[in-house]
């Protein structure tokens, strides 16, 4: 089974949804037969880090929501994250553009480290309050999951993997993704949002059952029509 996940490293529900899917997979009998591939998506392609301005202020200005209301909303999100064993530090979080982080993630995926880099980047942003647009930060984090620092540095100084990131975003638009996280199972079933683990469990069972059920052909012979046919015991010839 193949699961494609469109997400962004600064999307709070993407981390929550990721953990809920993983929890469902842990309870799934055939989890070893599942491949998860992370796809790039940007919630705010124009995002820019402004030194001296905290996350609450930035979010308030971008969304036109009063500062107090922003803090209440993020506190509620933090509680949902905590229920999944995640720690969100909104007080020190640094708003940033994630395009370069996605480029590094594409390189990591090519080397078989897509799952590791995704988890590391999400944890770095939400828990450690790292600046995900800073190249030195991305190089350091990539090295922690086994990538070569110099190779990552060269990628960030070039246009490498830009097209791969843009292709993911284009495909997202084509298949109707309007928000993330967005999960696609076997290129056939879609689940949007950070659904409860129980929902993911139901989807896993349904997709697995369909993928592995025996295919039985439906007869299109006209009703009440006799015909001639052969079996391994001989041929039954009907008179015309």
Q: Which two tokens stand for residue 174?
A: 């084509």
pLDDT band at residue 224 using 50, 70 and 90 as cut-offs: low
The pLDDT > 70 percentage for the chain reads 89
Q: Name which of 214, 208, 210 is nearest 1 in CA terms.
A: 208
pLDDT of residue 218: 62
Mean pLDDT, the chain, integer:
93
CATH number of 97's domain: 3.40.30.10
Is the per-residue pLDDT at 31 higher than 90?
Answer: yes
Is the per-residue pLDDT at 220 higher than 60?
Answer: yes
- Cα torsion angle, 138, 139, 145, 148, sign: positive
Between 211 and 107, the more confident residue is: 107
pLDDT, tens digit, for every residue of 137-155? 999 999 999 999 999 999 9
| Position 233 in a domain | no
**Which residues span the domain enclosing 153?**
2-212
| Position 230 in a domain | no
| Position 130 in a domain | yes
The residue ranges of DSSP E strands in 26-93, in sequence order, are: 35-40
Is the per-residue pLDDT at 206 higher than 80?
Answer: yes
Is the CB of residue 87 less than 8 Å from the CB of residue 125? Answer: no
Q: Which two tokens stand for residue 147?
A: 């990538």
| Position 226 in a domain | no
Q: Which two tokens stand for residue 123?
A: 């944890």
Is the per-residue pLDDT at 125 higher than 70?
Answer: yes
| Position 227 in a domain | no
Q: Which two tokens stand for residue 19?
A: 């953990």
pLDDT, tens digit, for every residue of 60-119? 998 999 999 999 999 999 999 999 999 999 999 999 999 999 999 999 999 999 999 999
| Position 207 in a domain | yes
| Position 60 in a domain | yes
Q: How far is CA 119 from CA 27, 45, 55, 135, in A?
A: 20, 21, 21, 18
pLDDT of residue 211: 86
pLDDT band at residue 213 using 50, 70 and 90 as cut-offs: confident
Mean pLDDT of 167-175: 97
Total domain count, the chain: 1
As a whole number of angstroms, the distance between CA 236 and CA 20 comes to 58
Ranking 3-7, 30-34, 210-214 by mean pLDDT, the lowest is 210-214
| Position 221 in a domain | no
């Amino acid at each position: 089974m193949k699961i494609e996940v469109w997400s962004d490293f600064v999307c709070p529900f993407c981390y929550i949804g990721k953990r809920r899917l993983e929890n469902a997979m842990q309870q799934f009998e055939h989890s070893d037969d599942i491949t998860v591939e992370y796809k790039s998506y940007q919630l705010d392609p124009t995002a820019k880090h402004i030194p001296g301005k905290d996350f609450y202020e930035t979010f308030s200005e971008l969304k036109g929501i009063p500062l107090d209301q922003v803090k209440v909303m993020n506190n509620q999100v933090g509680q949902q994250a905590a229920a999944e064993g995640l720690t969100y530090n909104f007080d020190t979080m640094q708003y940033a553009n994630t395009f370069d982080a996605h480029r590094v993630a594409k390189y990591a995926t090519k080397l078989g480290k897509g799952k590791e880099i995704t988890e590391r980047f999400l944890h770095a942003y939400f828990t450690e309050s790292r600046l995900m647009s800073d190249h030195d930060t991305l190089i350091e984090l990539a090295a922690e999951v086994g990538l070569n620092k110099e190779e990552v540095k060269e990628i960030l100084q070039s246009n490498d993997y830009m097209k791969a990131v843009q292709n993911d975003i284009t495909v997202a638009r084509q298949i109707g993704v309007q928000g993330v996280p967005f999960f696609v199972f076997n290129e056939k079933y879609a689940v949007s949002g950070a659904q409860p683990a129980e929902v993911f469990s139901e989807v896993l069972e349904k997709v697995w059952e369909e993928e592995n059920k025996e295919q039985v052909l439906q007869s299109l012979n006209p009703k009440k029509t006799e015909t001639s046919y052969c079996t391994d015991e001989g041929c039954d010839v009907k008179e015309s």
